[in-house]
């Protein structure tokens, strides 16, 4: 049974890095008129009200989007991400934080498509209520791997596959590797962006390396807000991007040190690994 609800964690430091990368990839795809597809394997609920009991209970967003909100930085990508997030709130107050489906929907053009798979019944109903009427968006209450098999490849061979598991089950890393391999077999021109948590250093490194080994062109961006082993739970998180836009490495080179300075909670690190 799935118990993870992203509503407790929306807007935290991990979401900031994840959604910053998502915005960068989508903006790159939008540079050409040709249609693209976003395939979001773990949709979550789509959009989160900041005054909701779940977000308020953990307050994690305060050390994520809360530290960036209404500020401007010497990194165009951070400012662009903040503008996208601000599009969901009234001026002045952070009222809503967008999940990956809402970010994609906001950046989709008429000719583009979004496919979302999500297993949790409550979150799936929220997705249906929010996006059910949008003809550009297809929702499936389906397992991530089954969705990749059923819904890829896209007609036009451009797009982003966003893979954001909750890693709540022991086999989630293996399942993610299998899903990425299957996705690449079907859609090897696609950009694949995979989120991973840093709970234990060696395990995170091993997993990220195995993901990067799946495609010759890749990057790994990691932001830790606490020193390794400095907390019981997650001390950081990262994104492995396979077939990244050629501009992403440079954008992150500027953005990551600023995110680190702004979001650090004590002894954290940032790193960017680029394939040659």
Ligand X SMILES: C[S@@+](CC[C@H](N)C(=O)[O-])C[C@H]1O[C@@H](n2cnc3c(N)ncnc32)[C@H](O)[C@@H]1O
Q: Which residues are catalytic?
A: 164
179 annotated as a binding-site residue:
no
Using CB under 6 A, pick the residue from 12, 117, 235, 243 that binds ligand X: 117
Interface region with ligand X, contact rule CB under 6 A, candidates 41-49, 85-93, 223-231, 258-266: 41-49
Q: How far is residue 201's CA from residue 228's CA, in Å, rounded to a whole number?
A: 6
Is residue 60 close enough to count as binding ligand X by CB under 6 A?
A: no
Q: How far is residue 121's CA from residue 184's CA, in Å, rounded to a whole number?
A: 28
Interface region with ligand X, contact rule CB under 6 A, candidates 30-38, 116-124, 131-139, 210-218: 116-124
* Count of residues near ligand X by CB under 6 A: 19
52 annotated as a binding-site residue:
no
- Residue nearest ligand X by beta-carbon distance: 99
Question: Chain centroid to CA 17: how far?
Answer: 7
Q: How far is residue 125's CA from residue 177's CA, in Å, rounded to a whole number?
A: 28
Using CB under 6 A, pick the residue from 60, 112, 118, 222 that binds ligand X: 118
Minimum CB distance to ligand X smaller for 112 or for 164: 164
Is residue 268 close enough to count as binding ligand X by CB under 6 A?
A: no
Is residue 166 close enough to count as binding ligand X by CB under 6 A?
A: yes
Tokens matching residue 16: 């900031």
Is residue 64 close enough to count as binding ligand X by CB under 6 A?
A: no
Task: Tell me whether residue 156 is exposed, middle or buried, using C-beta atoms within 10 angstroms of its C-beta: 0 to 12, 13 to 18, 19 or more.
Answer: middle
DSSP state string for 154-221:
-SSS-EEEEE-----STTHHHHHHHHHHHHHHH-TTSEEEEEEEESSHHHHHHHHHHHHTT-SSEEEE
| Placement of tokens 């948590």 in the chain | 197
Using CB under 6 A, pick the residue from 60, 112, 123, 264 that binds ligand X: 123
Task: Please say whether the beta carbons of 106 and 29 come within 8 A.
Answer: no
Annotated binding site for S-adenosyl-L-methionine: 19, 42, 100, 118, 143-144, 164
Binding region for ligand X (CB under 6 A)? 2, 4, 6, 18, 42-44, 99-100, 117-120, 123, 143-144, 164-166
């Amino acid at each position: 049974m799935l118990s993870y609800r992203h509503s407790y964690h929306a807007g935290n430091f991990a979401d900031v890095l994840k959604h910053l990368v998502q915005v960068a990839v989508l903006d790159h795809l939008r540079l050409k008129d040709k249609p693209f597809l976003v395939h979001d394997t773990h949709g979550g609920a789509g959009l989160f009200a900041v005054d909701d009991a779940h977000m308020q209970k953990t307050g994690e967003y305060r050390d994520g989007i809360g530290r960036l909100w209404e500020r401007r930085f010497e990194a165009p990508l951070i400012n662009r991400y903040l503008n996208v997030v601000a599009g969901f709130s009234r001026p002045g107050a952070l009222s809503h934080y967008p999940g990956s489906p809402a970010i994609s929907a906001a950046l989709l053009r008429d000719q583009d498509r979004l496919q979302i798979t999500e297993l949790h019944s409550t979150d799936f109903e929220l997705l249906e209520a929010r996006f059910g009427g949008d003809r550009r968006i297809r929702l499936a209450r389906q397992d991530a791997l089954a969705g990749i098999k059923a819904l890829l490849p896209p007609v036009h061979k451009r797009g982003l596959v966003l893979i954001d598991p909750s890693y709540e089950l022991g086999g989630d890393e293996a399942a993610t590797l299998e899903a990425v391999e299957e996705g690449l077999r079907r859609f090897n021109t696609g950009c694949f962006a995979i989120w991973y948590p840093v709970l234990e250093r060696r395990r995170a490194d091993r997993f990220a390396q195995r993901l990067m080994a799946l495609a010759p062109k890749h990057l790994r961006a990691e932001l830790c807000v606490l020193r390794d082993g400095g907390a019981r739970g997650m001390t950081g998180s990262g994104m492995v991007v396979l077939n990244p836009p050629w501009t992403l490495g440079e954008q992150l080179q500027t953005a990551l040190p600023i995110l680190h300075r702004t979001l650090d909670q004590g002894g954290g690190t940032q790193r960017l690994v680029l394939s040659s």
